[in-house]
Amino acid sequence: MSKTFLKAEEQVIANSLKIRFYPIAVQSAKGTRITGQNGTEYLDLTAGWAVAGIGYGHPRVSSKLKEQYESLSFTSQLSAPEPTMVSLAEKLIKITPGDFPKKVWLGHSGSDANDCIAKLVPLAKNRTRMISFMGSYHGQTMGSLSLSGHPAQSQFIGSGNVVKIPYPNPYRPPFGETDRLTDQVLQFLEQEVFKTICPPEHTAGIIIEGIQSDGGLIVPPENFLPRLEMLCRRYEISLIFDEVKVGLGRTGKWFSFDHYDVVPDAVVLGKSLGGGLPISAVVAKKEILDVGTGIHMFTTSGNPVCSVASLETLQIIEDERLIENARVNGEYFLKELEKLQEKYEWIGDVRGKGLAIGVELVEDRFTKTPAAEKTAAICYRCFELGLLVFYVGINSNVIEITPPLTISKEEIDLAISILDQSFSDLQEQKINMDLVKQYAGW
């Protein structure tokens, strides 16, 4: 059945809407498990690109959706608001730091939320330029794409008002020194960028991922984000955190910047916010989001069905202590992956916070040559053995581990066992590379 379905899907669904790693066809999903149309059950370490943070098919969300749809299926909040969107906004303001007046903008995806940033921050600051980071991924719309620095998007020019600087990658330091990484990146920003192509008086905002996600699950040095915040305050530049993938508990705190007591001017949310439904948000200083009336709006933004799903999702995260689970089980997962690293020379680096984990594969640890083909092979073999993982990174050589926050230690043990078997099979040349090459991924 799945082969027939995939052939039909190939005929009607645009390739521009696809990133495929293996031939899966989904029938159903519950909790941390996905069932394929052929009846195979998979343990999912992707959470559907980190969307299923509370797991698949949570009964509380299902119940709320039915109740809301039957009482009020839709109203355009642009012109006829109702209480659910307001309650969601109040909750988002409560869980984000900052004692300044805040407001909330609501959309449908991380892309349109980052579009909001690209459009409104320069208006609010009355400055024309923005700064982001090489390797960053902020979305697919032209505004969010302009903010991005991922090579997968290099064919698109986007807006010319964004300058990209190196992300502080401890495993691959852009200036060659890990010990001085924070100093070198910030000195480059102040001594080179600010003094040449992007003066601070023209710079409206700096947008950053607290963990650079699609760039390779890169965790910056502990002192980098606090130092970046200080720099932004010194030059009166807005500091924006894109928390679309790693926010809402995934790192073991509500947000990645909470690990460093950093207070952003704006926070961008999406993916897991809706418990599987399409909704995004920007929580920001009032003066940013109130810079104009009706200048960044979508008819179905903040609709009652998606809003109630988000409210219930946030409550589930608290009630089921999923942030604590992400912290504790994330630490356990990292330790088990480090044991695999000792066993297999191809594992160059294991990194992450909570359940946002990256495993970088290299041809050898001395040259650190990216092992993209091996990474694709591991993902494919895991699929054959009943485990779902994707790969990311600017070199397509990082296994991304972002499971539902509900994952248990027993499920982590199962995942480690399958990963171990996959690496062993690769070592013994038991993986059909011709099958792997059919799926390009990134």
Q: Which residues are identified as catalytic? A: 137
Element (H, E) at 334: helix 322-343
CB-CB contact of 371 with 362 (8 Å)? yes
d(CA 148, CA 207): 10
d(CA 425, CA 420): 9
CB-CB contact of 356 with 252 (8 Å)? no
What separation in angstroms does the CA of 119 have from each of 113, 115, 126, 138, 278? 10, 6, 11, 14, 21
Non-local (6+) Cβ contacts of 274 within 8 A are 51, 306, 309, 310, 313
Q: What is the strand order of the sheet 390-392 is part of?
A: 347-353, 356-361, 398-401, 390-392
d(CA 308, CA 311): 5
Per-residue tokens: 205: 């905002």
d(CA 306, CA 225): 32
d(CA 299, CA 223): 42
* In the block, residue with structure tokens 């991304």: 400
The single-letter code of the amino acid at 218 is I
Q: Give the sign of the dihedral formed by CA 419, CA 420, CA 423, CA 426.
A: negative
The DSSP code sequence of 246-276 is TTTTTTSSSSGGGGGT---SEEEE-GGGGTT
d(CA 307, CA 236): 33
CB-CB contact of 282 with 269 (8 Å)? yes
